[in-house]
Structure 1
Amino acid sequence: MVTGYSSGIGKAICESLEKSDFEIIRLKSRLEDIKALEAELKEILKDKDISVLINCAGVGVFKPHEEISLSKIKELIDVNLTAPIILANLCLRSLKKTKGHIINIASIEATRHSKFSALYTATKSGLRDFSLALFEELRRSDVKVTNINPDLTKTNFFDTLNFQPSENKEAHILPEDIAKTVLDILAFDGVITDITIRPQRLEILKK
């Protein structure tokens, strides 16, 4: 099961998994609609168990905190943090049966403190800490949990922002790079609990 599958990192992960003979379950409910999400998951889990849950959907905003609308604050918390926590909750019984794997896509911002990123950092660092604590909880049940912290990735994530990665290939990573990392994580005999993926250079373009 993959969220955020329609574009960017999520799309690349789905394509990579399908080439490796995984069957992808694509949720139809909006992540902010908790009741619809719960109903859809219950219906899915009646017929099948899940071996991998990948929480990839994400929303970003980078501006002075007082300039962010309350609806946008709620959206970021709902999509970036609440939805992955709820999906893990709803899928865990199934994942315990399959001795499955939860992979959460956080952000480089979960590992540092940047100007104009207070809200986004709060959601992504919360997701990272949730992943690491959940791994400790699930070790005896053989469910693996991995958190991935991508740095600047060339996707449509930046379409609504006032900056973007430069075109220099050494200054951004590609969605396909993260998809390959996901396959490597799934194939690894142990557990990679936390991994940060970065380009060599830092070059940001202002729009």
Structure 2
Amino acid sequence: MKKAIVTGYSSGIGEAISEILEKNGYIIVKLESRLDDLVLLEKEVKDILRSNDIDLLVNCAGVGIFQPHEEISIIKIKELIDVNLTAPIVLSNLLLRSLKKTQGHIINIASIEATKHSKFSALYTATKSGLRDFGLSLFEELRKSGVGVTTINPDLTQTNFFDDLQFEPSKKENTFLLPQTIAQTVLDVLNTKGVITDITVRPQKFEIKRK
């Protein structure tokens, strides 16, 4: 059976991706280390690789903050960059030899914000657009190796991502995505002959609800 590492597997989009992968023959190898503790993360991944080859890395874990940039603490800035951008780059680095061996795939879950510029989103957009550009460039590097790299840019998706934010997706029909929709997109990417390098998924309508 193929083995996948999915960050953010415990809730939201990551949980939905893990579930659909398990239904389609993947074993989910779960990371226990915090993504902002690179020393422990590196040790855990190296321990995993001693007895496992990895076929798929899904960089899904993410945190968000949307407020005036001067109001964001340095600690929060570091956390956002570590989780949203540094961890995916480091995990890709650590797993690439194994992924080359299995001719596997890296899927980065970025955001619609990676494709546009929104008020109070400078920090979040920087991390997600960085992740998107990392994936697009890495694909060019890895084409001869047989490793696929895909970035998925979801629009507003109904998850606990918004629990601590000042807004959330509207409850109206066709104004939000479900985590299962993004999970199905992951499966479609993996089943495509060829490589989908970049895909944006959006609801038909746009509407947010202020808390």
TM-score normalized by structure 1? Answer: 0.99
Q: Deviations over 1:60-111 (max 9, x none)?
A: 0000000001100000000000000000000000000000000000000000
**Equivalent AA in structure 2 for residue 159 of structure 1:** D
Aligned length: 207
Aligned equivalents of 2:96 and 2:13: distance in 1?
A: 23
Identify the residue that residue 25 of structure 1 maps to in structure 2. Answer: 29
CA distance, structure 1, for counterparts of residue 89 and residue 173 of structure 2: 34
- 1:149 partner SS: strand
- Other-structure match for 1:105: 109
Amino acid aligned to 1:103: I
Q: Name the structure 2 match of 1:93.
A: 97
Give me the whole-angstrom Cα distance separating, in 1, the residues matched to 2:44 and 2:163: 30
Say which SS state the counterpart of residue 113 (structure 2) adopts.
helix
Q: Which residue of 1 aligns with 2:180?
A: 176
- Partners of 1:150 and 1:168 in 2: CA distance: 18
Equivalent residue letter for 2:14? G
- Match for residue 64 of structure 1? 68
Letter matched to residue 170 of structure 1: N
Residue 7 of structure 1: aligned partner: 11
Could you tell me how far apart the structure 1 residues matched to 2:172 and 2:109 are?
Answer: 24
Please list, as runs of the form range in 1=range in 2, the aligned pairs for 1:1-207 lying within 5 A after superposition: 1-207=5-211
Large movers: runs of 4+ above 4 Å:
none
Partner SS for 1:171: coil
Report deviation, 1:33: 0.5
How far off is 1:169 after superposition? Answer: 2.5
Corresponding residue SS for 2:209: strand
- Counting aligned pairs with the same residue, the percent is 70
Equivalent residue letter for 2:11: S
CA distance in 1, matches of 2:50, 2:96: 14
Displacement of 1:168: 1.2
Q: 2:176 is aligned with what amino acid?
A: H
Q: Give the CA RMSD over aligned residues.
A: 0.4
Query: CA deviation digits over 1:125-182, x for unaligned, max 9?
Result: 0000000000000000010000000000000000000000001120000000000000
Measured in 2, the distance between the counterparts of 1:70 and 1:18 equals 38
Give the Cα–Cα distance (whole angstroms) in 1 for the partners of residues 173 and 82 of structure 2. 33
